[in-house]
Amino acid sequence: MVIILKPQYEERQLNHLLKWLEGYKLKTALVKGEQSTILGLIGDTSKVDIETVKAIDIVESVKRIQEPFKAANRKFHPDDTVIDVSGQKIGGKNFTMMAGPCSVESREQICEIAASVKSAGAGVLRGGAFKPRTSPYAFQGLRAEGIELMLEAKKATGLPIVSEIMNINDLKLFDDVDIIQVGARNMQNFEMLKELGCTNKPILLKRGLASTMEELLMSAEYILSGGNKNVMLCERGIRTFETYTRNTLDLSAIPLLKEHSHLPVLVDPSHATGISRLVKPMSMAAAAAGADGLIIEVHNDPAAALCDGAQSLTPEAFSDLARSVNALLPGLGKKTII
């Protein structure tokens, strides 16, 4: 930690500060100049609250040197974390395709999609039972029944399943769900993260719409520090001024998160852009940038009768996408999925 002192300060004030810091058993070094004075702190500064230091009268600014996350930090865990999800390995040299409908609608729908995406190369079935909706008047998902239908599709196909939790009190409903998704809007629902940290369920943690990569890693730290080591990160677009896309997919997060952390990094191109035509090029870009997997919305098109082809990805389009991504994998040092 580096503390920059204001140009004018009294020795008395500095001594107060130094005395207070003594409690933290840090090595300190003072560099005085005419315009400013630098106080360097070396050692384990993780307990020193940066906001308290900033609030000290003679302090102009503070710069943390060490990253504030530990359990998620690659420095202390150089090897890639590989998570075993019911036999399906996620991370390392593996590339995992998660696919399925935005919302579970019926047994027929979910089982049909499950079979279809499995044959196209998907390793995990996704499906929404609890749906976070901006409007209270919008369909909120089939909820408990949706989880039941997901479990039937799991039984039918053998695919592990991932679904989003929105209320920690629903945790028991997720007993047989293989991966629990924490959505972007709950990335900083710290009370829920703490409770998930006490389970050993694999967690798919999505980046918040306005969250920095560091905040994403700190939210992962909440889960990891609780004892649950099975966390995978998911980039799904951040909020910017651009209006052609719903969000701006930040693919630079892939190499950066993997540099700072050992956790697997997946990408959700469907929610990021909100445009089905972009799912394939963004999936290929994500793979090329080093992602450990993708989570893709696939729809078996019940709307067809009505509208001759909805814009979401059909099973055929998903199959084409999977083949194209698969062709990239060997060149990227990843195992193929088909």
Left if phi > 0, otherwise alpha if psi is -120 to 50, otherwise beta: which for 250?
beta
Smaller CB separation from a copy of itself, 156 or 194: 194
Q: From CA 111, how far away is CA 74, in angstroms rounded?
A: 39
Rule CB under 8 A: choose which of 22, 119, 155, 303 binds a copy of itself.
303
Question: Would you count residue 199 as binding a copy of itself (CB under 8 A)?
Answer: no
Question: Would you count residue 166 as binding a copy of itself (CB under 8 A)?
Answer: yes
Q: Which of residues 70-129 bind a copy of itself (CB under 8 A)?
A: none
Question: Would you count residue 66 as binding a copy of itself (CB under 8 A)?
Answer: yes
Closest C-alpha to 254, from 224, 233, 274 = 233
Structure tokens at 179: 């991966």
Contact of 180 with 165, CB cutoff 8 Å: yes
Structure tokens at 49: 């609250």
Site track for a copy of itself across 239-268, x = CB under 8 A: xxxxxxx--xxxxx-xxx--x---------
Rule CB under 8 A: choose which of 80, 112, 152, 215 binds a copy of itself.
215
Rule CB under 8 A: choose which of 8, 87, 191, 333 binds a copy of itself.
191
- What b/e sequence results for 201-230 when a residue is b if at least 16 CB atoms lie within 10 Å of its CB, and e otherwise? bbbbbbbbeebebeebbbbbbbbbebebbb
Q: How far is the CB of 226 from a copy of itself (least distance, A)?
A: 8
Q: From CA 319, how far away is CA 28, in angstroms rounded?
A: 59
Site track for a copy of itself across 307-326, x = CB under 8 A: xxxxxx-----------x--
Rule CB under 8 A: choose which of 176, 210, 316, 336 binds a copy of itself.
210
Q: How far is the CB of 124 from a copy of itself (least distance, A)?
A: 22
Question: Would you count residue 23 as binding a copy of itself (CB under 8 A)?
Answer: no
Closest C-alpha to 99, from 327, 325, 332, 328 = 325
Rule CB under 8 A: choose which of 156, 278, 320, 329 binds a copy of itself.
278
Rule CB under 8 A: choose which of 22, 36, 227, 335 binds a copy of itself.
36
Q: From CA 179, how far away is CA 165, in angstroms rounded?
A: 10
Structure tokens at 255: 């190499």
Question: Would you count residue 40 as binding a copy of itself (CB under 8 A)?
Answer: yes
Question: Would you count residue 139 as binding a copy of itself (CB under 8 A)?
Answer: yes
Smaller CB separation from a copy of itself, 200 or 311: 311
Strand 203-206 relative to strand 179-182: parallel, antiparallel, unpaired? Answer: parallel
Q: How far is the CB of 157 from a copy of itself (least distance, A)?
A: 25
Q: From CA 323, how far away is CA 151, in angstroms rounded?
A: 27
- Where does this chain touch a copy of itself (CB under 8 A) — which range of 78-86, 106-114, 174-182, 205-213? 205-213
Q: How far is the CB of 84 from a copy of itself (least distance, A)?
A: 25
Distance set, CA 284 to CA 60, 121, 266, 269, 278 (Å): 46, 15, 13, 10, 10
Helix, coil or strand: residue 209: coil
Rule CB under 8 A: choose which of 107, 194, 201, 229 binds a copy of itself.
194
Rule CB under 8 A: choose which of 96, 157, 163, 189 binds a copy of itself.
189
Q: How many residues bind a copy of itself (CB under 8 A)?
A: 112
Closest C-alpha to 101, from 281, 331, 310 = 310
Smaller CB separation from a copy of itself, 100 or 160: 100
Question: Would you count residue 198 as binding a copy of itself (CB under 8 A)?
Answer: no
Residues in the chain, overall count: 338
Question: Would you count residue 209 as binding a copy of itself (CB under 8 A)?
Answer: yes
